[in-house]
Amino acid sequence: MSEEAAVPTVAEVVESWNVPDEAIVAARIRNNILVAIERGYDDPQLVADLAVGPLVMALGKLEVELADARRRIEELERTVAGPA
């Protein structure tokens, strides 16, 4: 008789997401999803839906901040280079 590998629960899958300690927003998203699972919202499709919205918002914020950082770097580079 062969042993079948145990299928992980949705919570176990979410808990396995390796989120760096410094990634506060990502950790908050993961923790909020775990709370939703604890409250019975453990359908994998619902979990995916719960993750996508906050991830899109975080990505949008990151995109805006990155564009701003690029502009500031370009300004600093022009300042350091001096008059053309």
In DSSP notation, 38-64 reads HTT---HHHHHHHHHHHHHHHHHHHHH
Q: What is the mean pLDDT of residues 12-18?
A: 94
Cα(40)–Cα(48) distance, integer angstroms: 15
- DSSP state at residue 80: H
Domain ranges of the chain: 10-79
What would the pLDDT profile of 49-83 be if each residue is shown by its tens digit? 888 999 999 999 999 999 999 999 999 999 999 88
Cα(15)–Cα(33) distance, integer angstroms: 10
pTM value is 0.70
Tell me the CA distances in angstroms from 31 to 38, 46, 55, 81, one per residue in order. Answer: 10, 15, 13, 46
What would the pLDDT profile of 36-55 be if each residue is shown by its tens digit? 999 999 898 998 888 899 99
